[in-house]
Amino acid sequence: MSESAFWSFIRSALRQKSRWWKPITQCKLEAKRAYKGPLKRQKFEYQCNECKGWFPEKKINVDHIQPAGSLNCAADLGPFVERLFCEQENLQVLCETCHNIKTQKEKTKK
Ligand SMILES: [Zn+2]
């Protein structure tokens, strides 16, 4: 396994686990409401903090306002974990579209 494959493996493991981080589940919970539209299988919907639209769970992301950043070496690990497992003030629910726009902006900033 190459160095970069190794760190990408660790990164995705940490990201997966962060879905069960309390401030993240709490953030999602606060953006959630009962769905009353025509789709029979959809029970809940979530509000995007950017466009204020309502979306099914599959179409939303809990976004780190201050991104967790890169994890490419052992020295990145500490700061990455601290940013990933952050407090709720640094979290927001975004729809796919708004999340992609934000991610693109963050990439071009560098
Ligand atoms: Zn949105």
Q: What is the pLDDT of residue 106?
A: 87
**63: Cβ–Cβ under 8 A, 6 or more apart, which residues?**
49, 91, 92, 93, 94, 99, 102
72, 34 contact by CB (below 8 A): no
Q: Separation of 83 CA from ligand 1 center, angstroms? A: 23
Q: What is the pLDDT of residue 83?
A: 96
* Residue 23: burial class (beta carbons within 10 Å; 0-12, 13-18, 19+): middle
> What 8-state DSSP symbol labels residue 65?
S
Q: Separation of 48 CA from ligand 1 center, angstroms? A: 5
pTM score: 0.88
Average pLDDT estimate for 75-103: 97
Q: Separation of 54 CA from ligand 1 center, angstroms? A: 8
